[in-house]
Amino acid sequence: MSTYTVGYFVGSLSQKSINRVLANALIRVAPPELAFREIPIKDLPLYNHDFDADYPPEGRALKDAIAAVDAVLFVTPEYNRDIPGSLKNAIDWASRPWGTNSFTHKPSAVIGTSPGKIGTAVAQQNLRSILSFCNSPQMNAPEAYIQFAPGLFNDDGEVTDPTTQQFLTDYMSDFRDFVQRVLSVLPPR
């Protein structure tokens, strides 16, 4: 089986984000065929169409980072029933200028955690709509809405609950299989 490089986005800018903790846990339980590289978004200026003629270095670095990976994983919180503005801003940068959408044919998956019982369900649905417009093939099942509780993950990123650990392990195995299927049909551009 091939090894695939997965670029992952953490939707929160906080270094102490529970979604960053989840991202680290996902990396721990992922199959060995997936290698991970975070795609940073914190230094991006607000997207503005005026930049399309001359992309700033931060925008070019984002597009280069996405081009260098085989697939993308979005690990995002939910802010006011949507994705954080910083994540939407990154997607806007990556999908522009017209005709240079970095997400075209790039396999993707969406997951997130929140203290609330529905996890990040509404934000994930909104993100899926955006990714659909960006022509990114999405792993739509299994869906993963993780209710965060103190102690669910330890400081090393280990999942302390066996049921959650098995679910996340299966989720990442399904993602590997999904990436392999998509790339066998839609080779990278």
- Determine the Cα–Cα distance for residues 117 and 121; give it in Å rounded to an integer: 10
Question: Considering only CA atoms, which of 177, 164, 183, 182 is closest in space to residue 29?
Answer: 164
Specify the pTM.
0.96
Q: Is 164 helix (H, G, I), strand (E, B) or coil?
A: helix
Which amino acid is it at 167? F
Tell the burial category of 74 from Cβ atoms under 10 Å away from its Cβ (0-12, 13-18, 19+): buried
Residues 6+ apart with CB under 8 A from 23: 8, 10, 38, 73, 75
Per-residue pLDDT of the chain (189 residues; tens, 9 = 90+): 789 999 999 999 999 999 999 999 999 999 999 999 999 999 999 999 999 999 999 999 999 999 999 999 999 999 999 999 999 999 999 999 999 999 999 999 999 999 999 989 999 999 999 999 999 999 999 999 999 999 999 878 899 999 999 999 999 999 999 999 999 998 766
Question: Considering only CA atoms, which of 10, 167, 166, 146 is closest in space to residue 73?
Answer: 10
Residue that the structure tokens 């991970």 belong to = 36
Residue that the structure tokens 């991006």 belong to = 44
Which amino acid is it at 143? E
Fold (CATH) for 4-153: Rossmann fold (3.40.50)
Domain ranges of the chain: 4-153
Q: Can you list the alpha helix ranges (DSSP code H) found in 95-161?
A: 121-133
pLDDT given at position 18: 96
Residue 110: CB atoms within 10 A of its CB come to 26
pLDDT given at position 46: 97
Question: Considering only CA atoms, which of 85, 72, 3, 77 is closest in space to residue 39?
Answer: 72
Tokens of 136: 């990114």
Contact (CB, 8 A) for 9 and 18 = no
